[in-house]
Amino acid sequence: MKVLTQDRLWSEAVILEEPRRVLRVQSTRDAFLCLKNHWPLPDGKAKRDALAACDRVIDGLDAPDAARDAFIKAAEEAKFSVRCWTGG
């Protein structure tokens, strides 16, 4: 299992909406878990990129908002309605 004992918080939350659910995500670890376990698309380029970005951020190789930006792109790929103050 990926090391989930660490997390890196984002500057702003991202809210993803589908007709029957709302996902509020504001940290890298939670984004990773959403992509891994609660995502409507089994695969996709943006999803893979976002998972890789989460890995890099958790490993301290990138800034937290790099994961946030990649997560927003993955959400758009998965046809979520994305709400956030600052775009990806």
Partner 1 sequence: MAGHEDKPARVGDVMSRQVFTVSPTDTAQSVARLMAEAGVGALPVEAPGVGTILGIVTDRDILTSVVAKGLSSSTAVFEFMTVSAECCEEGDSLLLAAQKMHDLQIRRLVVVDEKRHAAGIIALADIARVNPELGGLILDGMNRPAAEPAQLEGVSS
Binding site for partner 1 (CB under 8 A): 1, 4-5, 7, 9, 22-27, 29-30, 33-34, 36-38
CB of 25 to partner 1, least distance (A): 7
CB of 14 to partner 1, least distance (A): 12
The dihedral formed by the CA atoms of 9, 33, 59 and 81, expressed in degrees to the nearest 10: -60
Smaller CB separation from partner 1, 23 or 66? 23
Q: Report DSSP letters for 25-71, one per residue.
A: EEEHHHHHHHHHHS-S-S--HHHHHHHHHHHHHHTTSS-HHHHHHHH
CB of 5 to partner 1, least distance (A): 6
